[in-house]
Amino acid sequence: MSALAAAQPADSPRVRVEAAFALRYGAPPAFVVRAPGRVNLIGEHTDYNDGFVMPLAIDRALWIALRPLAGGQVRAHSLDYNEDMQLDLRNPVHGGPQWSEYIGGTAWALAEAGHALLGWEGVLAGDVPMGAGLSSSAALELATARAFAAIGGWQWNAAGMARACQHAENAWVGVNCGIMDQMISAAAVADHALLIDCRSLAVQPVPLPVQTCVVVLDTSTRRGLVDSAYNERRAQCERAARVLGVPALRDVSSAQLAAAAQAMEPLALRRARHVVGEDERTLAAVQHMQQGNASALGALLNASHASLRDDFEVSSDALNAIVECAQQQPECHGARMTGAGFGGCAVALVQSAAAAGFARAVSAAFHNATGLTAQIYICRPSAGASIVST
d(CA 177, CA 71): 33
Angle, CA 371 vertex, CA 367 and CA 376 arms, to 5°: 40
d(CA 202, CA 210): 25
Phi, psi of 129 (to 5 degrees): -55, 130
Q: How many alpha carbons fall within 13 Å on the CB side of residue 350?
A: 33
Whether 349 and 39 have beta carbons less than 8 Å apart is answered as: no
191 is catalytic: no
Active-site entry in 47, 127, 181, 218: 181
For residue 264, how many other CB atoms are within 10 A of its CB?
17
d(CA 29, CA 39): 30
Which parts of 206-338 fold into alpha helices (H)?
230-244, 254-260, 266-290, 294-310, 317-327
d(CA 50, CA 133): 20
Residue type, 4: L
d(CA 301, CA 98): 34
3-class SS of residue 44: coil
Phi, psi of 362 (to 5 degrees): -65, -40
Residue type, 273: R
d(CA 202, CA 186): 13
Catalytically active residues are: 181
